[in-house]
Chains A and B, each alone.
Chain A
Amino acid sequence: DSGVTQTPKHLITATGQRVTLRCSPRSGDLSVYWYQQSLDQGLQFLIQYYNGEERAKGNILERFSAQQFPDLHSELNLSSLELGDSALYFCASSARLAGGPTDTQYFGPGTRLTVL
């Protein structure tokens, strides 16, 4: 158990809909990262938050957005869903922003999103 929690475990929805994925980081970790894992693309970085502020963006679609709340939990919002958005979505957390031995990212169990 990494200490990172994600809900829900599974999500089945229809095209065009909007969903919210939730992540609680390990106790004391300030950074939260979101990744998407699909069969053909592997793990792809989406977005990073540090202590409530957006710090880096990767291959995140404009239909996707995220935020980190004062209690440090984070939510990833996916809207106007398409079939191709079906994937595993992982949240990871680390103690610091970047740099040094304490920036190891620990991953949650993931949310499996199926868009029908």
Chain B
Amino acid sequence: EDQVTQSPEALRLQEGESSSLNCSYTVSGLRGLFWYRQDPGKGPEFLFTLYSAGEEKEKERLKATLTKKESFLHITAPKPEDSATYLCAVQGIYGGSQGNLIFGKGTKLSVKP
């Protein structure tokens, strides 16, 4: 069964304190791994798609990396506006549910000034 586990559940950082969020996944054939940002009461906002191990993508203070078993979202010198829940999702190749996303429960990030 396809599965996504994110850690930690919550992370509190001081402004400027860099850290990483982890996403471990099990999928029978990875089509893509997705990172989303979600603010309270809002829809998930797309950040990155990673397709193969070794791939990296960057956007402002965020950098996503992918291995065969996990993905990391590195946050460099975060600012208070980076506070949100970060969601990881995988899309599998096989099975009747290919195309839809399997989400982790997210990491709630709080950045204090």
Q: What is the bound-complex CA distance between A57 and B43, given in angstroms?
A: 21
Tally of A-B Cβ pairs under 8 angstroms: 69
Known: A90-B44, A109-B42. A104 touches B34 (CB 8 A): yes
CB distance from B66 to the nearest CB of A (A): 15
Q: What bracket does the count of chain B residues touching chain A fall in?
A: 20 to 34
Within 8 Å CB of B89, what residues of A?
A: 43
| Complex contact A42–B99 (CB within 8 A) | no
A41 to B, closest residue via Cβ: B105
| Complex contact A110–B42 (CB within 8 A) | yes
A16 within 8 A of B: no
A101 to B, closest residue via Cβ: B49
Q: List CB contacts (< 8 Å) of B30-86 with chain A.
A: 31-32, 34, 36, 41-46, 49, 51
Within 8 Å CB of B105, what residues of A?
A: 42
CB distance from A54 to the nearest CB of B (A): 12
The residue from B45, B91, B104 contacting A107, defined by CB atoms under 8 A apart: B45
Known: A43-B87, A98-B31, A98-B91. A103 touches B99 (CB 8 A): yes
Within 8 Å CB of A101, what residues of B?
A: 49, 51
Q: What is the bound-complex CA distance between A95 and B81, given in angstroms?
A: 30
Q: A71-115 toward B: CB 8 Å interface, digit per residue (1/0)? A: 000000000000000001010000001110101111111101000
Q: A43-72 toward B: CB 8 Å interface, digit per residue (1/0)? A: 111001000000111100000000000000
Residues of B at the A interface (CB closer than 8 Å) are: 31-32, 34, 36, 41-46, 49, 51, 87, 89, 91, 96-106
Known: A33-B100, A108-B43. 6 other contacts (CB 8 A): A33-B101, A42-B103, A42-B105, A45-B101, A105-B101, A107-B44
A-B complex: 4 closest residue pairs judged by Cβ atoms: A98-B99, A107-B43, A43-B103, A45-B100
